[in-house]
Amino acid sequence: MTQVTPLSEAQQVVRIIAATAIDNETYFCELDAVVGDGDFGYSLARGFGRLMEDWETLEYDDVAGLLRRCAMVISGRVGGASGPIWGTAFLRAAMALRDRPDPDGADVVSALRASIEGIKQRGGSDVGDKTLLDALVPAVDTLERELTAGNGAAAALTAGATSARSAAEGTRGMLARRGRAAYAGERSLDSVDAGAIAVAVMFEAVRDGWDATDA
């Protein structure tokens, strides 16, 4: 039986996120095409696809090292504005875990908070601007609350995924203030944000993958 370690769990999560980005390329592009360039799904699939191609040759010793390698590949392969945003997210998480060879739930939350701050700085955005932050921040808030309450990873991920989905759907009716969608003005009110939906779909995929492992 394969031993479960923080590193093996991190590998599982990254692989699930990558597979989700690849499998939903068309869907994410269709969402982005409503008021954006329509290339969001393609950009994500290209970057995460390259990550999976290089997976067996990536060199790292711990979770921080894995995330750092992911950041390098994603930054170099994801096009448009998504590359710097997603690359920064992985890099900031890696930096937060560099002295945590065996991260626990609290460390994971800290890493996600670091990713959020990196995204805000890189994109000049915040909650309410109709970006992926509008799903990511509520999901992490819920994740932290559940873990602090003593609930296990599976329950925390389930609650986090629910928050991410609700918040992502809630971007419909919000005015886009960043990216290409901002140029659409009031037309952006009628659509959900592609990045926020992507976060929700990824949280749901990680939740499902975690449940399958625990089953």
pLDDT at 185 over 60: no
Enter the pTM of the model.
Answer: 0.93
Fold of the 6-214 domain: 1.25.40
DSSP assignment of 60-105: -SSHHHHHHHHHHHHHHHS-TTHHHHHHHHHHHHHHHTTT-SS--H
pLDDT digits (tens, 9 = 90+) for 65-112: 999 999 999 988 776 677 789 999 999 999 999 999 899 999 999 999
pLDDT digits (tens, 9 = 90+) for 123-158: 889 999 999 999 999 999 999 999 999 999 999 999
pLDDT for res 51? 95
pLDDT for res 82? 77
Which residue did the predictor score with more confidence, 198 or 84? 198
Answer for the pair 130, 137: CB distance below 8 angstroms, yes or no: no
Name the token pair of 9: 């769990």
pLDDT at 214 over 90: no
CA distance 23 to 202: 11
Q: Helix, strand or coil for residue 184?
A: helix
CA distance 74 to 80: 12
Mean pLDDT of the chain: 90
pLDDT digits (tens, 9 = 90+) for 3-14: 789 999 999 999
User: Using 50, 70 and 90 to split pLDDT, how confident is the model at 60?
Assistant: very high
Domain boundaries, the chain: 6-214
pLDDT for res 151? 96
